[in-house]
Amino acid sequence: MKSIRLATAVVVAAALSVPSTLVATAAPVDRTPGHSAKDTLRGAAPKGFHIGTAVAGGGHHESQPYPDPFTSDQPYRRVLAAEFDSVSAENQMKWEYIHPERGTYNFGMADKIVRFAKQHGQVVRGHTLLWHSQNPAWLEQGNFTAAGLRSILRDHIKRVVGRYKGSIQQWDVANEIFTDTGALRTTENIWLRELGPGIIADAFRWAHEADPKAKLFFNDYGVESVNAKSDAYLALITQLRAQHVPVDGFSAQSHLSIRYGFPGDLETNLKRFSALGLKTAITELDVRMDLPESGVPTEAQLAQQADYYTRTLTACLNVRGCDSFTIWGFTDKYSWVPVFFQGEGAATVMGDDFSRKPAYTALRNTLAARR
């Protein structure tokens, strides 16, 4: 039944003239040897609840002593296919990768992710369209007029969102636009600085025109709790929705650390957004820790980490409209954490060899209990 549905989807996609590079034949879902379908995260998840991961490539990986993980590491690909039914581009859809020169798009890496997702019955989260970081030099250092810059953003959104029309379930349209005190990032963010806050509504409108079915999100870190930053999102989204701007969702990245307490009001916070009729999502969960000198986490650390993963998942499961839960990588082998936080690591749910940590088991059991 499943393969027939997938095959139909492929035919329909082809008929809608999706670029031929994206059309894939349906293939059975690979499974990690030794694990049955039920014994995976996607197998344990309740119907309609998407369990996702970032797909490793670009960004910090390029400075590491290994080849591109997603395209080179076969065991990695097998676990990616077996465990998850949602994938996010960790870096591959960011401006510096997908639009490296003015007028030149490089869709190769993103196409491969979308094709992989189709082959394995996964949905895709697109990340990201309007951000202050990982923009190419030609954009950041170009000397554009406001009108010129506006048309650059419009063309980018139309081209990128349009290319993957029908293939992306959720887009992070605007990423990290507020500071921790709830002020718009008008200094670092080229779009807000040069074009003013009105550009946010335009970005959502253009994305919606390019793919009316994709759910369009605001995405940020440090918004797990009720605080100045999440308050700022609540106020902005309320205002935009009153103006009929097509905003569909609000997502909390959730880069957590056991150094700090768990954001216990996560569920309460997400429910404020859900009450506006929005979807919510957890988009980049990882739980880092200070590593002991041996480099090996203690049992107590692993238990606390498992608890943070479980509580984040439970909060999402308890909120209507929170049906997408993504971890920012699934193996410590490729995590961004040790590269950005000295002395910290072990933030994902699997070891370097894809061995399952207590956090993995806790997630799977929590999902299974809600089936």
Q: Which residues are known catalytic residues? A: 176, 284
| Cα distances (angstroms) measured from residue 270 to each of 137, 236, 254, 278, 315 | 36, 15, 12, 9, 8
CB of 336 to ligand 9MR, least distance (A): 4
CB of 329 to ligand 9MR, least distance (A): 7
> CA–CA separation, 82 vs 167, rounded Å?
20
CB closer to ligand 9MR, 26 vs 131? 131
CB of 308 to ligand 9MR, least distance (A): 17
CB closer to ligand 9MR, 134 vs 257? 134
CB of 284 to ligand 9MR, least distance (A): 5
CB of 316 to ligand 9MR, least distance (A): 18
> CA–CA separation, 145 vs 343, rounded Å?
44
CB of 271 to ligand 9MR, least distance (A): 23
Environment class of 363 (CB within 10 Å of its CB; exposed 0-12, middle 13-18, buried 19+) = buried
Sign of CA dihedral 163, 166, 168, 173: positive
> CA–CA separation, 113 vs 131, rounded Å?
21
> CA–CA separation, 67 vs 245, rounded Å?
42
Listing DSSP states for 129-197 in one string gives: EE-SSS--HHHHT----HHHHHHHHHHHHHHHHHHTTTT-SEEEEEES-B-TTS-B-TTT-HHHHHH-T
Contact 327, 53 (CB under 8 A): yes
> CA–CA separation, 228 vs 16, rounded Å?
44
Residues that bind ligand 9MR (CB under 6 A): 59-60, 90-91, 133-134, 221, 253, 284, 336
> CA–CA separation, 41 vs 193, rounded Å?
42
CB of 300 to ligand 9MR, least distance (A): 26
Helix (H) or strand (E) holding 269: helix 266-274
CB neighbours of 308 closer than 8 A, spacing ≥ 6?
256, 258, 262, 287, 359
> CA–CA separation, 142 vs 162, rounded Å?
25
| Coil/strand/helix, residue 29 | coil
Residue of closest CB approach to ligand 9MR: 59
CB closer to ligand 9MR, 125 vs 364? 125
CB closer to ligand 9MR, 308 vs 336? 336
Longest dimension (CA), the chain: 58
CB closer to ligand 9MR, 106 vs 134? 134
CB closer to ligand 9MR, 48 vs 65? 65
CB closer to ligand 9MR, 18 vs 287? 287
